[in-house]
Amino acid sequence: MKAEQRKNRNRMIERFIQGLLMIVLIVLTIFMMIDVNKIQGNARVINYAGIIRGATQREIKLEISGNANNSLIRYLDDIFDGLMHGGGKYQLTKIDDQKYQNKLAKLNKAWVSLKEEIQKVRENGYENTNIINMSEDYFYLADETVTAAENYSQHCASQLNSIEKGLIVTSTLIVCVIIRETILAIVLMKRNKELNKLAYIDLHTGLPNRSRVEELVGEYNHFDQPSAMIVFDLNDLKEVNDSLGHVAGDTLIMNFADIIRTSIPDKHFVGRYGGDEFIALLTNVTKDEVEEIITSVQNEAKRYNEFSKQIHLDFAYGYDLSTSYQEANLKVLLNQADKNMYDCKTRMKQARKG
């Protein structure tokens, strides 16, 4: 009787420990997801803060040379709005760090003053203004703001590293407890593992991942309305990784994903199909509308290259239409679009050599 009571008590203790460890695991996973989201948002903030630094210097040079550029000023205003308040035209993250916010507030105040000085340059000529000294001070302040954002991002990365270690320790303890459980618990654990593998979101880009794309391809056995499949592929990603490191390559992938998603209407599906390959499924579209969307992506990439002083972004694409076939499924369109993309890539390489 006492042995049975001791056994039941030990079982209750084991279940309590297992439940506690599971709670710790869930909490750590939530924190990890929050940190991953922060790091992704921070990377975009760092990128656009760098654009502010470079684009403002370009604006000053244009104003000094007598070439007023109000569109560039509006572009910088939109970025500042997103950095200061979050969201905005470029869907930027508001970094929750006091040092960075203080630097950003000073930078924004300096930008307001700089715009006032630009107006004086237009009215009186730059020789009669303090535009050059102000722009130099602004540049150093912008540099400090970028550094503050980078420091905060590094802090988030360190937190993520600690969380990952905590996850490893917690997971190991859970495995030790689960070993003593019944076969049912082992089966349940395997099912949970399989469910985790079926996660449909690519954490790096925030787009549906390859699993979701493959599931989508399997769902479309026929088309009820005119549809199109576009395949996009980044050029020279390997060279970027080899010369500048994988962090630069990852940033390029993330920026390209953002360009595609923001250029294509939300009603259409956009997903990451591979390392540097993305697909878009467009429904109820004509050939002209497909080409307009591709042009929109090209224009946004061109705009990115104009204002970003970092890595040049270039891509190949291919598409196919369901109306080209009497009867077809999505897999047929994907294969043909992929082939057309490689043909495009080949033509681009030949054009470079020529």
Q: Which amino acid is at 69?
A: N
Alpha carbon distance 229, 159 (integer Å)? 40
Tokens of 287: 């050939």
Q: Are 259 and 314 in contact (CB under 8 A)?
A: no
Q: Are residues 168 and 214 in the same domain?
A: no
Closest C-alpha to 318, from 338, 334, 333: 338
pTM: 0.47
* Residue 345: per-residue pLDDT: 92
* Residue 78: per-residue pLDDT: 87
Residues in the chain where the model's pLDDT stays below 50: none
Q: Which whole-number Å values give the CA distances from 161 to 15, 25, 151, 157, in the listed order?
A: 29, 15, 15, 6
Q: Are residues 159 and 228 in the same domain?
A: no
Q: Are 199 and 209 in contact (CB under 8 A)?
A: yes
Per-residue pLDDT of 136-156, as tens digits, reads 888 888 888 888 878 877 877
Q: Which residue has the tokens 């000073």?
A: 106
Look at residues 145, 173, 201 and tell me which one is the last residue of a structural domain: 173
* Residue 143: per-residue pLDDT: 84
Per-residue pLDDT of 286-302, as tens digits, reads 999 999 999 999 999 99
Q: Are residues 144 and 233 in the same domain?
A: no
Length of the chain: 354
> Strand locations in the chain, DSSP E?
227-234, 269-272, 277-283, 315-321
Residues in CB range of 124: below 8 A, 6 or more apart: none
Q: Is residue 180 part of a domain?
A: no
Look at residues 112, 147, 173 and tell me which one is the last residue of a structural domain: 173
Q: Are residues 225 and 93 in the same domain?
A: no
Which residues span the domain enclosing 332? 210-353
Residue 326: give its domain's CATH number.
Answer: 3.30.70.270
Phi, psi at residue 142, to the nearest 5°?
-65, -40
Alpha carbon distance 352, 354 (integer Å)? 5
Residue 109: give its domain's CATH number.
Answer: 1.20.120
Q: Are residues 135 and 227 in the same domain?
A: no
